[in-house]
């Protein structure tokens, strides 16, 4: 089995990437044609890689389970994409972006990777503009920027509230060009269900055609996993319904180490759950915290009155409200990083102060921002004796200009008018920093198998900063993988096409067919969703925002039990050879049930608190997260040994030469 | 709420298909339409029957995966929303709701409410891109200033999520709103102007090949579009097309 | 040349523009019949004998009319075939006007009216002039021009007047969508569109109303 060699190039931090690129092997253009690359997933990371590799001349096969590559969940990212362009002249630089990202990740990311990410970030913006991505611009026709949580400069490029969609459409359009030319063969509505290895190398996949149900063999010289994150292990998350861990998990079970599975980002501003039927949570952009004040009632009797409807939140006076973020973190107030804001909300709700029927909601209030902006506007418009009503009207207009689409979305979902009554929000699972372990070249521990974007673990450490996910996906796909994969493929120019009639393919296909048939023939009584919800509840309650040893141990036992019940009692209607969404869900949930256990084990093993991972046992006297750099400055990479509970831990020590490790403080 | 659902069932593309009736009880007004469908499916599965197949993914109105023709309208009676954002409070206790797939020759039914919209992809393969290779050396993003007005208009066109509601709503099953949104986005930006002629000719040709109907300007698409894509885009595409045809060699 | 959907639609719009201009001209001449039989006769005589109009414009007009109808049918046929299975429940009224969805219907009524109109005026005119060679009342002579008398004669029958009025109502419906649709088809959608829409509505109502007025006027004043 491969050992953990991160292959970080020698030399000073700022030269590593350039030197590396200059010295790795390349494949000559004539030979690229004869080399096949499979890419699983067509979001920002997969789509951009597919387009770039095809442009270079490789023969690409791209797979997505959706009906079109354009629907990958990257599309849902709202806020923006970071890049160290320094267009705003506020002293931004590659180093500053690198520094912010490492610090934001609570010093659990690999320095060299993050520096490279910051280095290529500027190229991403150039590339996207050249593709026709309509970023926001100012009246001079130049690109506009906004600032985002946790940083001191304005480096976020955006396209109103749908930066993700616009960037994905850019990558998708680049793919379209190559599909039209026949350089990319696109497999829509296909799901990868197994990795095929020949002589210890990744040589293909087994995929199911989701329309016909046919199980297909596809061979290649390298396989790239760009299948996104695994937040849906919590059942309820802001991820798309179809987002899953299957491709990543299948690779893991074939020998790729899974790194830091417990690093999860819980986003503080999501619309709370309204009932048991709920299938998915909706995120409201983090930008709302720039103007919204977060609070719960100070007194329990007000909480009760609000819950039973006898009192309205607007009737509470300032003295009766607890602006707990402003109280606890006077310096950053409502703008503390995501993990801190989320935990603080949970703390209040656990103490019984939640303001909706489920007890899991806090207020995000724009009333004072409306009045503040209203007064400003009244002064600008020389209305010095404006009435309160007039000030409110003017202020409402300002807020509408800034957040109109978000407010509208909120009202559509909740039927509450957030201009008149405070919004209700609650944290929800949003992003997973953990993922398949990769080296500097983005290769997993399986030769020829790569992982990019959210599917890998590499750049965000224990917490991701806003607007960095899009940056990483595109950096990996446009500017890193296309170079580093050549280093490996250069050894394959004489291999020729990989045959799909080998015993390895036979065996992999058989295992998939057996697995599918097992579900169809299982005469259970409960739906797949039933088990998924059970898993989600355990994960949220015991492996969620705050974790402790007792809860984690219980979670592991409970997940094992759910897994056992699932195999015994799940019912999957229909047949294998047809369009069968329940069967798709069954294979995904089966993998989630294994991942969930590893997730909890990783959280149990890491007894420090860092970033999105908070251990009750490791906090300061004031209740804040306490990191333990002496014992935990490493990447936990887990090796599959046949049972998630018996996974073997490998540690990749993290060394910081260019950054000094500090405890984060937002007081 | 208690509802009667009249849902189109069709086993596969060869099946003739037909409407079946499903009563459903205890529907909360806070549910989204798709959550109501989830509840119905959970019931069907518990009864051991085949659940209703429908497309969905992000459930926040951006991926464009969900479809459904609800009570005679694409994405149902609400405006500016996709089916996943439609909530049950738009219906009344006792209502009968018809649910059908998006219908067009260019969108063959796969199963029940799931249709094949890859025709949209193929139209974009024909020209929905700027021919620029990935390179760390394209010119700086600010090298060409773009008037804010053009950038905003290009963005508005680019908000299209490719759901196909325009085709579904059009009495002619025309795809012009979709195609024109793509054509407009690129033709408004300097980066896209270089190959504007080729693009519009090729995309329209592919659109016609896919069997979509001809636009007769009823405006239904604009009304039903969850992203409010404007008919101005169709006019722009017509102009671009005329220019390109008259000027081509 | 008319292979593509957009080309067909532009051709449809161009023929519509031509017909809308023709309508204005037709209305203007007919209106004179209300004020002055003489002017009407003179103008009619000019139109009926000027070789440019008779041998160039008249065929062009015929072609325009035929083209508009035939293309209309072709488009309708193609559009119907682009949805092979119809909706069980469709609520077209929720998103579009009745007029826009029923251009083929209003068009067919207008076509039927055209047949009547041709039987009433055009065919007898062509028959008398070119087949029988009878130019009495057409070229200047002592018996005077025949046009005004013919016009009055036609509007005696109340059924015919009723049919005419009804046809013009359908023409109005056709124009209410068609006028602006034609502009949209040739790509004109800009800051003037709002104003143009109002103008189009006015045109679509006033022009047919004018014809209705003339028919009724002569019916009650002969």
Q: Total structural domains in chain B?
A: 2
Number of H helices, E strands in chain A: 19, 20
Same domain, B90 and B159: no
The per-residue pLDDT for range A179-224, each reduced to its tens digit, is: 999 999 999 999 999 999 999 999 999 999 999 999 999 999 999 9
Residue C191 lies in a domain: yes
State whether residue B146 sits within 8 Å of chain A by CB: yes
In what helix (H) or strand (E) does residue A639 lie, and over which residues does it extend? strand A634-639
What pLDDT is attached to residue B238?
A: 97
Q: Which CATH number fits the domain that encloses residue B190?
A: 1.10.1060.10
Q: What is the mean pLDDT of residues B223-235?
A: 97
Q: Under 8 Å CB-to-CB from A430, ≥6 apart: which residues?
A: A231, A237, A238, A239, A265, A266, A267, A270, A283, A338
Question: Per the CB < 8 Å rule, is B46 touching A527?
Answer: yes
Residue C93 lies in a domain: no
Same domain, B122 and B219: yes
In what helix (H) or strand (E) does residue A321 lie, and over which residues does it extend? strand A321-322
Same domain, B187 and B167: yes
Residue A665 lies in a domain: no
> Containing domain of residue C47, as a range?
5-81+101-220
Q: What is the mean pLDDT of residues A328-337?
A: 87
Same domain, A449 and A405: no
What pLDDT is attached to residue C140?
A: 65
Question: Per the CB < 8 Å rule, is B60 touching A141?
Answer: no
Residue B18 lies in a domain: yes
Q: Which residues of C touch B169 (CB under 8 A)?
A: 95
Q: Total structural domains in chain C?
A: 1
Same domain, A543 and A636: yes
Q: What is the mean pLDDT of residues A426-441?
A: 97
What pLDDT is attached to residue A29?
A: 93
Residue C35 lies in a domain: yes
Catalytic residue among A338, A348, A547, A563: A338
Same domain, A362 and A482: no
Nearest chain C alpha carbon to B235: C187
Task: Give burial (CB, 10 Å; 0-12/13-18/19+) of C104.
Answer: middle
Q: Could you tell me the end-to-end alpha-carbon distance of chain B, in angstroms, rounded to an integer?
A: 63
pLDDT for residue A2 is more than 60: no
What pLDDT is attached to residue B231?
A: 96
**Percent of chain A scored above 70 by pLDDT?**
99
Residue A439 lies in a domain: yes
Range name among A451-455, B220-224, C29-33, C149-153 with the lowest pLDDT average = C149-153
CA distance C212 to A400: 51
The per-residue pLDDT for range B68-113, each reduced to its tens digit, is: 999 999 999 999 999 999 999 999 999 999 999 999 999 999 999 9
What pLDDT is attached to residue C142?
A: 64
Tell me the pLDDT of chain A averaged across its residues: 95
What pLDDT is attached to residue B137?
A: 86
Q: Which CATH number fits the domain that encloses residue B80?
A: 3.10.20.30
Q: Which residues of chain C have pLDDT under 50?
A: none
Residue C60 lies in a domain: yes
The per-residue pLDDT for range A224-267, each reduced to its tens digit, is: 999 999 999 999 999 999 999 999 999 999 999 999 999 999 99
Question: Per the CB < 8 Å rule, is B171 touching C101?
Answer: yes
Same domain, B37 and B80: yes
Q: Which residues of A touch B125 (CB under 8 A)?
A: 176-177, 179-180
Q: What is the mean pLDDT of residues A28-32?
A: 94
A374/chain B closest Cα distance in angstroms: 27
Nearest chain B alpha carbon to C80: B172
Residue A152 lies in a domain: yes
The yes-or-no answer on residue A146 being catalytic is no
Same domain, A222 and A135: yes
Subunits close to C (at least 3 CB pairs below 8 A): B
The residue written with tokens 């002629």 in the block is B197
Same domain, A273 and A219: no
Residue C91 lies in a domain: no
Same domain, A597 and A553: yes
Question: Per the CB < 8 Å rule, is A176 touching B191?
Answer: no
> Containing domain of residue A40, as a range?
13-265+430-492
Same domain, B43 and B70: yes
- CB-nearest partner of B216 from C85, C91, C100: C100
What pLDDT is attached to residue A26?
A: 95
Q: Total structural domains in chain A?
A: 3
What pLDDT is attached to residue C15?
A: 96
Residue A659 lies in a domain: no
What pLDDT is attached to residue B243?
A: 93
What pLDDT is attached to residue C141?
A: 64
What pLDDT is attached to residue A152?
A: 80
The per-residue pLDDT for range A120-177, each reduced to its tens digit, is: 999 999 999 999 999 999 999 999 998 876 678 899 999 988 999 999 999 999 999 9
Same domain, A282 and A183: no
Interface of B with A in 163-192 (CB under 8 A): 185-186, 189, 191-192
Q: What is the mean pLDDT of residues A521-538?
A: 96
> Containing domain of residue B96, as a range?
3-110
3+ Cβ–Cβ pairs closer than 8 Å linking C and A: no
Q: What is the mean pLDDT of residues A609-625?
A: 92
Q: Under 8 Å CB-to-CB from C207, ≥6 apart: which residues?
A: C23, C24, C27, C171, C172, C175
**Percent of chain B scored above 70 by pLDDT?**
99
Q: What is the mean pLDDT of residues A392-403?
A: 90
B58/chain A closest Cα distance in angstroms: 4
The residue written with tokens 């909120």 in the block is A410
Name the β-bridge partners of A267. Answer: A428
pLDDT for residue A486 is more than 90: yes
Q: Estimate the crossing angle of helix A481-489 against helix A44-56, to 10 degrees.
A: 60
Q: Which CATH number fits the domain that encloses residue A371?
A: 3.90.700.10
Q: Which residues of B touch A482 (CB under 8 A)?
A: 134
CA distance A496 to A516: 32
Q: Which CATH number fits the domain that encloses residue A581?
A: 1.20.58.100
What pLDDT is attached to residue B53?
A: 98
B105/chain C closest Cα distance in angstroms: 5
Q: Under 8 Å CB-to-CB from A610, ≥6 apart: which residues?
A: A106, A107, A108, A461, A462, A463, A625, A627, A632
What pLDDT is attached to residue A405?
A: 81
Question: Per the CB < 8 Å rule, is C4 touching B77?
Answer: no
Q: Which residues of B touch C103 (CB under 8 A)?
A: 216
Beta carbons of C59 and B200 less than 8 angstroms apart: no
Annotate A164-222 with DSSP letters as a single string: HHHHHHHHHHHHHHHHHHTSEEEETTEEEEEEEEETTEEEEEEEEETTT--EEEEE-SE
Q: Which residues of B touch C190 (CB under 8 A)?
A: 232, 235
State whether residue B131 sits within 8 Å of chain A by CB: yes
What pLDDT is attached to residue A1?
A: 44
pLDDT confidence bin for B230, thresholds 50/70/90: very high
B77/chain A closest Cα distance in angstroms: 13
Q: Which residues of C touch B8 (CB under 8 A)?
A: 88
CA distance B237 to B242: 8
Same domain, B157 and B100: no
Interface of B with C in 89-148 (CB under 8 A): 98, 100, 103-106
Helix, strand or coil for residue A143? strand
Residue C22 lies in a domain: yes
The model's pTM: 0.95
State whether residue B242 sits within 8 Å of chain C by CB: yes
Same domain, B94 and B124: no
Residue C20 lies in a domain: yes
Mutant choice from C76, C95, C193 vs B, greatest count of B C-beta within 10 A: C95
Question: Per the CB < 8 Å rule, is B151 touching A137?
Answer: yes
Residue C190 lies in a domain: yes
pLDDT for residue B27 is more than 50: yes
Subunits close to B (at least 3 CB pairs below 8 A): A, C
- CB-nearest partner of B73 from C7, C86, C95: C95
The per-residue pLDDT for range A74-104, each reduced to its tens digit, is: 999 988 999 999 999 999 999 999 999 999 8
Q: What is the mean pLDDT of residues A633-650?
A: 97
Same domain, A549 and A649: yes
Residue B151 lies in a domain: yes
Residue B226 lies in a domain: yes
Predicted ipTM of the assembly: 0.97
State whether residue B194 sits within 8 Å of chain C by CB: no
Same domain, B178 and B106: no
């Amino acid at each position: 089995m491969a050992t953990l060699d991160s292959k970080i190039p020698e030399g000073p931090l700022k030269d590593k990437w350039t030197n590396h690129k200059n010295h790795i092997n390349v494949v000559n253009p004539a030979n690229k044609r004869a080399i096949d690359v499979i890419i699983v997933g067509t979001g920002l990371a997969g789509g951009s890689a597919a387009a770039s590799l095809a442009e270079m001349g490789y023969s690409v096969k791209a797979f997505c389970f959706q009906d079109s590559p354009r629907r990958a969940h990257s599309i849902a990212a709202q806020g923006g994409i970071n890049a160290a362009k320094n267009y705003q002249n506020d002293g931004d630089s590659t180093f500053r972006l690198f520094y912010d990202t490492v610090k934001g990740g609570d010093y659990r990311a690999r320095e060299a990777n993050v520096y490279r990410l910051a280095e290529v970030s500027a190229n991403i913006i150039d590339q996207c503009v050249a593709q026709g991505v309509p970023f926001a611009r100012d009246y001079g026709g130049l690109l506009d920027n906004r600032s985002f949580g946790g940083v001191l400069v304005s480096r976020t490029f955006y396209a109103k509230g749908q930066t993700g969609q616009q960037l994905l459409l850019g990558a998708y359009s680049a793919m379209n060009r190559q599909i039209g030319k026949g350089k990319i063969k696109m497999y829509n509505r296909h799901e990868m269900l197994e990795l095929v290895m020949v002589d210890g190398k990744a040589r293909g996949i087994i995929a199911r055609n989701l329309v016909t149900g046919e199980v297909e063999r596809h061979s290649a010289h390298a396989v790239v996993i760009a299948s996104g994150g695994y937040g849906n292990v919590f059942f309820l998350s802001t991820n798309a319904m179809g987002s899953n861990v299957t491709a990543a998990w299948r690779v893991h079970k074939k020998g790729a180490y899974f790194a830091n599975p417990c690093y999860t980002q819980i986003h503080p501003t999501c619309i709370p759950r309204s009932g048991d039927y709920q299938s998915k949570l909706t995120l409201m952009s983090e930008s709302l915290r720039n103007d919204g004040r977060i609070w719960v009632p100070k007194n329990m009797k007000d909480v009760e009155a609000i819950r039973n409807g006898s009192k309205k939140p607007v009737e509470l006076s300032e003295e009766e409200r607890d602006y707990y973020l402003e109280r606890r973190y006077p310096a950053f107030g409502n703008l503390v990083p995501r993990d801190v804001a989320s935990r603080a909300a949970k703390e209040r709700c656990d103490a019984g102060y939640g303001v909706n029927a489920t007890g899991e909601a806090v207020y995000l209030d724009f009333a004072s921002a409306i009045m503040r902006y209203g007064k400003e506007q009244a002064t600008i418009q020389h209305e010095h004796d404006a009435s309160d009503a007039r000030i409110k009207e003017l202020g409402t207009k300002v807020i509408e200009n800034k957040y109109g689409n978000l407010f509208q979305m909120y009202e559509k979902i909740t039927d509450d008018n957030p201009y008149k009554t405070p919004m209700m929000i609650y944290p929800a699972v949003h992003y997973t920093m953990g993922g398949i372990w990769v080296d500097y070249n983005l290769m997993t521990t399986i030769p020829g198998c790569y992982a990019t974007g959210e599917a890998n673990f590499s750049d965000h450490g224990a917490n991701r900063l806003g607007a960095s996910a899009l940056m990483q996906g595109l950096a990996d796909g446009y500017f890193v993988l296309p170079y580093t994969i050549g280093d490996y493929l250069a050894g394959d120019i004489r291999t020729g096409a990989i045959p799909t009639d080998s015993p390895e393919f036979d065996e992999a296909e058989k295992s998939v067919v057996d697995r599918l048939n097992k579900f169809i023939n299982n005469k259970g009584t409960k739906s797949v969703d039933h088990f998924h919800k059970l898993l989600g509840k355990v994960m949220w309650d015991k492996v969620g925002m705050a974790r402790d040893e007792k809860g984690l141990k219980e979670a592991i036992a409970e997940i094992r039990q759910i897994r056992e019940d699932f195999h015994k009692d799940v019912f999957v209607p229909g047949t294998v050879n047809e369009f069968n969404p329940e069967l798709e869900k069954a294979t995904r949930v089966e993998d989630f049930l294994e991942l969930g256990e590893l997730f909890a084990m990783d959280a149990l093993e890491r007894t420090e608190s860092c970033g999105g991972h908070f251990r009750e046992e490791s906090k300061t006297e004031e209740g804040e997260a306490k990191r333990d750099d002496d014992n935990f400055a490493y990447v936990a990479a887990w090796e599959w040994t046949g049972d998630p509970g018996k996974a073997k831990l490998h540690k990749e020590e993290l060394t910081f030469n260019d950054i000094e490790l500090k405890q984060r403080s937002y007081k | 709420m208690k509802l009667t659902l009249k849902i189109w069932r069709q086993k596969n593309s060869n099946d003739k298909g037909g409407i079946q009736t499903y009563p459903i009880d205890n529907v909360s007004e806070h549910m989204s339409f798709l959550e109501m469908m989830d509840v119905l499916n959970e019931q069907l599965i518990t009864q051991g029957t085949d659940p209703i197949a429908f497309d969905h993914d992000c459930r926040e109105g951006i991926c464009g995966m969900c479809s459904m023709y609800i009570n005679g309208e694409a994405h149902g009676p609400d405006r500016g929303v996709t089916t996943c954002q439609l909530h049950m409070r738009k219906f009344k206790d006792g209502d009968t709701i018809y649910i059908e797939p998006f219908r067009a020759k260019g969108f063959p039914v796969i199963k029940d409410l799931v249709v094949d919209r890859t025709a949209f992809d193929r139209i974009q393969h024909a020209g929905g891109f700027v021919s620029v290779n990935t390179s760390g050396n394209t010119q700086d993003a600010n090298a060409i200033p773009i008037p804010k007005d053009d950038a905003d208009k290009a963005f508005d066109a680019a908000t299209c999520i490719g759901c196909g509601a325009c085709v579904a709503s059009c009495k002619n099953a025309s795809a012009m709103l979709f195609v024109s949104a793509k054509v407009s986005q690129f033709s408004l930006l300097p980066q896209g102007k270089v190959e504007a002629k080729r693009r519009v000719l090729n995309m329209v040709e592919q659109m016609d090949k896919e069997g979509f109907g001809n636009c007769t300007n009823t405006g239904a698409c604009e009304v039903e579009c969850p992203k409010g894509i404007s008919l101005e885009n169709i006019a722009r595409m017509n102009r671009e097309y005329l220019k390109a045809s008259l000027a081509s060699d | 040349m008319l292979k593509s959907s957009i080309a067909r639609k532009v051709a449809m719009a161009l023929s519509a523009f031509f017909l809308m201009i023709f309508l204005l001209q037709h209305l203007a001449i007919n209106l004179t019949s209300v004020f002055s039989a003489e002017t009407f006769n003179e103008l009619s005589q000019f139109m009926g004998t000027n070789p440019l109009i008779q041998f160039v414009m008249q065929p062009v007009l015929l072609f325009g009319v035929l083209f508009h109808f035939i293309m209309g049918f072709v488009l309708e046929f193609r559009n119907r075939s682009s949805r092979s299975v119809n909706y069980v429940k469709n609520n077209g009224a929720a998103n579009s006007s009745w007029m826009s969805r029923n251009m083929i219907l209003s068009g067919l009524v207008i076509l039927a009216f055209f047949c009547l109109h041709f039987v009433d005026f055009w065919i007898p005119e062509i028959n008398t002039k070119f087949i029988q060679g009878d130019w009495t009342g057409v070229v200047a002579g002592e018996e005077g021009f025949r046009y005004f008398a013919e016009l009055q004669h036609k509007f005696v029958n109340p059924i015919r007047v009723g049919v005419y009025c009804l046809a013009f109502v359908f023409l109005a419906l056709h124009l209410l969508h068609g006028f602006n649709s034609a502009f949209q088809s040739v790509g004109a959608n800009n800051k003037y569109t709002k104003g143009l829409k109002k103008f189009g509505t006015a045109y679509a109502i006033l022009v047919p109303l004018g014809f209705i007025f003339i028919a009724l006027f002569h019916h009650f004043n002969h």
